[in-house]
């Protein structure tokens, strides 16, 4: 190669030995430091990308969407009734399902006392229900309204269920004082009294009466000292007499 001035130049590869060993070591250490410094950033970026992909898969796609609604605990209600009330959207990402909203919709059913809603990965919403238990049947025309231990009316039936006492109440409900008195008395009865019980009548809070088999009557009075009254009345069941008065449990009469 000529530079135009008569001089000839030749390209040659620099001898590696031209770089002193100390410089090479310094350069190698510098590269290692740069790699070490960049490694945490690279790992962090990889983690972020992975987490982002997972979150997108869980929350943003139907890959982990709802495929099944499992109903547990039904008795008088059918699983289909619960499923329709729950109104779970199929294929919705399971992680985004509003469990509280589902629970509220299910508990709006009169016969449901409470509901527990949970996720069962990868694709199932589980609804556990506890139905109300009837403690008495209130006559309503030719039908009966079933009430639970809180006085909530939750089902109407044509025929009184066997073993369920008739509750004669003018305005049954959780806020009704007569209903509350009836429930206090019913909850205090012994097994022997429950077996004999046909009806409970509460025209006023202090005028509770129990109707037993064989046309026997227990005058209960108000709902105070109900457990003591129940024990006294149970002890008097073998005695002769159509009417047992335990309204004053320390001074009882039977006639």
At 54-93, the pLDDT tens digits run 545 445 555 678 999 999 999 999 999 999 999 999 999 9
Domains of the chain: 68-131 (3.10.20.310), 165-254 (no CATH)
Band (21; pLDDT cuts 50, 70, 90): confident
At a CB cut-off of 8 Å and minimum separation 6, what does 109 contact?
Answer: 77, 81, 82, 85
176-190: average pLDDT:
98
At 82-141, the pLDDT tens digits run 999 999 999 999 989 999 999 999 999 999 999 999 999 999 999 999 999 999 999 999
b/e 73-86 (16+ beta carbons within 10 angstroms → b): bbeebeeebbbebb
Distance from C-alpha of 82 to C-alpha of 117, rounded to nearest angstrom: 12
């Amino acid at each position: 190669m000529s530079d135009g001035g008569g001089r000839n130049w030749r390209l040659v590869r620099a001898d590696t030995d031209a770089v002193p060993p100390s410089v090479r070591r310094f350069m190698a250490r510098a590269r290692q430091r740069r790699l070490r410094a960049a490694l945490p950033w690279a790992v962090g970026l990889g983690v972020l990308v992975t987490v982002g992909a997972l979150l997108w898969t869980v929350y943003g796609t139907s890959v982990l969407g709802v495929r099944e609604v499992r109903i547990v605990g039904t008795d008088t209600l059918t699983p289909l009734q619960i499923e329709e009330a729950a109104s779970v959207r199929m294929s919705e990402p399971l992680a985004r399902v509003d469990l509280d909203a589902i629970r509220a919709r299910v508990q709006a059913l009169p016969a449901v006392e409470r509901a527990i809603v949970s996720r069962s990965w990868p694709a199932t919403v589980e609804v556990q229900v506890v139905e109300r238990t009837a403690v008495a049947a209130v006559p309503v025309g030719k039908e009966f309204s079933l009430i639970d231990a809180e006085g909530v009316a939750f089902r109407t039936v044509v025929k009184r269920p066997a073993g369920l006492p008739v509750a004669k109440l003018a305005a049954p409900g959780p806020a009704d004082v007569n209903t509350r008195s009836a429930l206090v008395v019913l909850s205090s009865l012994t097994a022997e009294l429950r077996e004999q019980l046909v009806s409970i009548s509460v025209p006023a809070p202090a005028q509770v009466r129990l109707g037993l088999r064989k046309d026997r009557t227990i005058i209960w009075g108000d709902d105070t000292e109900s457990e003591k009254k129940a024990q006294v009345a149970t002890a008097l069941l073998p005695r002769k007499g159509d009417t047992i008065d335990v309204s004053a449990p320390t001074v009882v009469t039977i006639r």
